[in-house]
Amino acid sequence: MDQTSIEFTGYDRPGLLSEVSAVLTNIKCNIVNAEVWTYNTWATAVMQITDEETGSAITNSKRLSKIKQHLCNVINNSNKSRAAKTVVADGFTHTGRRLH
């Protein structure tokens, strides 16, 4: 695939998507596609990103770990984040099944 998929689930709050977008931009990632759902107090998102320089999927394991760490810091930025999680994966994620 030519994109990297990121999934996250966490406590929804005003500005969460903006913060996630800012973090990805700061670490030189382009958001190609994003699907976001909210339900009660939870937000779930599946995003496809690419490397800003190459326009390709991000495959470097250290960089993927750094992306995950930065996103976890944003998503867990609440004392209500009881089960927040972030997953970074190569390839396509089936978004139709994410909330079921």
Number of domains in the chain: 1
Please indicate, yes or no, if residue 81 is contained in any of the structural domains.
Answer: yes
Supply φ then ψ for residue 99, to 5 degrees.
-100, 5
Please indicate, yes or no, if residue 48 is contained in any of the structural domains.
Answer: yes
Between the two ends of the chain, the Cα-to-Cα distance in Å is 25
| Chain length of the chain | 100
Q: What pLDDT does residue 63 have?
A: 94
Q: What pLDDT does residue 76 have?
A: 83
Please indicate, yes or no, if residue 80 is contained in any of the structural domains.
Answer: yes
**Full domain range(s) for residue 82:** 4-95
Q: What pLDDT does residue 100 have?
A: 45
Token reading at 80: 């209500």
Neighbour order of strands in the sheet with 85-90: 29-39, 42-51, 4-11, 85-90
33: left (phi over 0), alpha (psi -120 to 50) or beta: beta
Q: What pLDDT does residue 75 have?
A: 87
Q: What pLDDT does residue 79 have?
A: 56
Please indicate, yes or no, if residue 100 is contained in any of the structural domains.
Answer: no
Give me the CATH number covering residue 69: 3.30.70.260
* pLDDT (tens place) for every residue of the chain, 100 residues total: 699 999 988 889 999 999 999 999 999 999 999 999 999 888 999 999 999 999 999 999 999 999 999 998 888 865 554 556 777 765 555 555 544 4
Please indicate, yes or no, if residue 17 is contained in any of the structural domains.
Answer: yes
Identify the three-state secondary structure at position 25. helix
